[in-house]
Amino acid sequence: MASVTAADEKRVLDAAPHQLWIGGEWRDASNGATLGIEDPSTEETLCTIADGTPDDAVAALDAACDVQDEWAQTPPRDRGEILRRTFELMNERADDLALLMTLEMGKPIAESKSEIVYASEFIRWFSEQAVRIDGRYSVNPNGSGRLLTMKQPIGPCLLITPWNFPTAMGTRKIGPAVAAGCTMVVKPAQQTPLSMLALAAIMKEAGLPDGVLNVITSSKASSVTEPLMDDPRLRKMSFTGSTPIGKMLMEQASKRLIKCSMELGGNAPFLVFDDADLDAAVEQGVIAKMRNIGESCVAANRFHVHESVADEFAARLTEKLAAMKVARGTEDGSQVGPLIDGKQRDKVAELVDDAVGKGAKVMTGGERVGDKGYFYAPTVLSDISPDAELLREEIFGPVAPVATFSTEDEAIAAANSTEFGLVAYVFTRDIKRAFRVTEALDVGMLGLNRGLVSNAAAPFGGIKESGFGKEGGPEGIEEYLSTKYVAVDL
Ligand code: SIN
């Protein structure tokens, strides 16, 4: 993409929908309220959008319920074709979608572009899965009859998406829901709703019938999600976000036993053994840490490096991070945009200050950048004290603490000493150690000599307090299907 101009920014902002999407209509909030969307790199308001009310949320669920039966009867091939067309449109419009995302979320344009590709891959993957929903036929073990299973759409869903990947975290829920024959209400994050509204417009253009997808934007998330969680028509809730909010939603879901998928927080350890290919470990470590400005639940949260290579690893990681360009995401060559808001930047700064107060050495960074916008410098810390908060807390920012270990058992114990269990990264050239450590780590995903695991064709998801349920891969659609067993007497 050529350099972004102010005219480009105005054009994509003007073209983006700013209203609620309910039953195939763009609507203002029922009380006329609006909510401002901030550019995190300038702290200025980009635009205002509808601030949905509880009544609007119920109207969205009404619209979803009205068309649930008809949508469930739509031939799977037709559902797949709509997704396929969505995939194509997303890629045709990738430049504008990426710019819109950068404006509201802050990440560099190149990263927004990658996210649009990643997001569209979920749509393509599930366009292919729509026609692969099957069941079983078997003979009763006692020979007296037949056992059949069939899979049916679970029903209307509530999909709650985060601000860090405004489009991809939506498509990996919307794709399988559409493919399975479910209707839905999507509640995007308050900070980044424009990308989701733009996606809704594209899906309409791709032929998605009115009412299948509804989008409610709001400044008070729980005011619009709570009435839906308490509505007997809602059959499924999928959430990506923090563990505390996930626990609160689980409590609400327990009242009506709503089926949940939970993609929650992480605290990914990145283990580098003494036999690792250090070039690969550094290169992949930069990806694992700096993708999305570190604002990812799969970001490497802490590096545990064997004591014999730790100094070299830390020095090389420092060289890479110190060279990264920190700038507004629309600027040519920007590699590190602002954090999402002041609260997030302050949290990152506090975690760094805590570590430094407990003896950590700042190899690079360790400070805010600029007077405007929520920028924080790429940071490497060494000499980490075991009681530093950032070894336990999800940093969600561009900060790499490098701790050391001396034995394999010590590395495994350090990696597992967290309530989270989303992902881990392991760097070793010893195949036996690779499998030993892989089996010993309590995580739902593992990157073996790789710093990136995310892939639409693979089951994304964690264990422990990182949540449950899988998104992507053949498993992803199962979250939106219920299995009916039929006992047949012949
Ligand atoms: C997340 O941060 O929530 C997901 C990141 C990914 O899908 O790679």
Q: What does the pLDDT look like over 379-390, one tens digit per residue?
A: 999 999 999 999
Atom of ligand 1 nearest to the CA of 299: 2
Q: Whose CA is nearest to atom 8 of ligand 1?
A: 454
H or E element, residue 313:
helix 310-322
Domains by residue range for the chain, with CATH:
6-264+466-487 (3.40.605.10), 268-455 (3.40.309.10)
Atom of ligand 1 nearest to the CA of 452: 8
The alpha carbon of 168 and the centre of ligand 1 are apart by a number of angstroms equal to: 8
Check if 171 has its Cβ closer than 6 Å to any atom of ligand 1. no
Is residue 99 predicted with pLDDT exceeding 70?
A: yes
Q: Whose CA is nearest to atom 3 of ligand 1?
A: 297
Check if 239 has its Cβ closer than 6 Å to any atom of ligand 1. no
Confidence band, pLDDT 50/70/90 cuts, at residue 1: low
Check if 240 has its Cβ closer than 6 Å to any atom of ligand 1. yes
CA distances from 111 to 95, 289, 298, 370, 373 (A): 11, 14, 15, 22, 18
The alpha carbon of 375 and the centre of ligand 1 are apart by a number of angstroms equal to: 21
Ligand 1 site-directed mutation target among 460, 466, 470, 471, most atoms within 8 Å of CB: 460
Q: Which position has the token pair 């639409």?
A: 456
Alpha carbons within 13 A on the beta-carbon side of 4: 24
Atom of ligand 1 nearest to the CA of 164: 2
Q: Write down the pLDDT at residue 410.
A: 98
Q: Write down the pLDDT at residue 212.
A: 99
What pLDDT, in 10s, does the model give residues 148-207? 999 999 999 999 999 999 999 999 999 999 999 999 999 999 999 999 999 999 999 999
Please tell me what DSSP assigns to residue 215: E
Confidence band, pLDDT 50/70/90 cuts, at residue 3: confident
CA distance 373 to 37: 14
Atom of ligand 1 nearest to the CA of 172: 7
What pLDDT, in 10s, does the model give residues 16-70? 999 999 999 999 999 999 999 999 999 999 999 999 999 999 999 999 999 999 9
CA distances from 43 to 36, 128, 201, 340 (A): 11, 41, 27, 10
What pLDDT, in 10s, does the model give residues 301-354? 999 999 999 999 999 999 999 999 999 999 999 999 999 999 999 999 999 999
Atom of ligand 1 nearest to the CA of 162: 3
Kindly compute the dihedral angle of the four CA atoms of residues 316, 319, 323, 324, in this order, to the nearest 10 degrees.
Answer: 40
Q: Is the dihedral of CA 69, 70, 73, 77 positive or negative?
A: negative
Model-level pTM? 0.97
- The residues assigned a catalytic role are 263, 297
Check if 293 has its Cβ closer than 6 Å to any atom of ligand 1. no
Ligand 1 site-directed mutation target among 105, 167, 267, 296, most atoms within 8 Å of CB: 296
Check if 297 has its Cβ closer than 6 Å to any atom of ligand 1. yes
Q: Whose CA is nearest to atom 7 of ligand 1?
A: 454
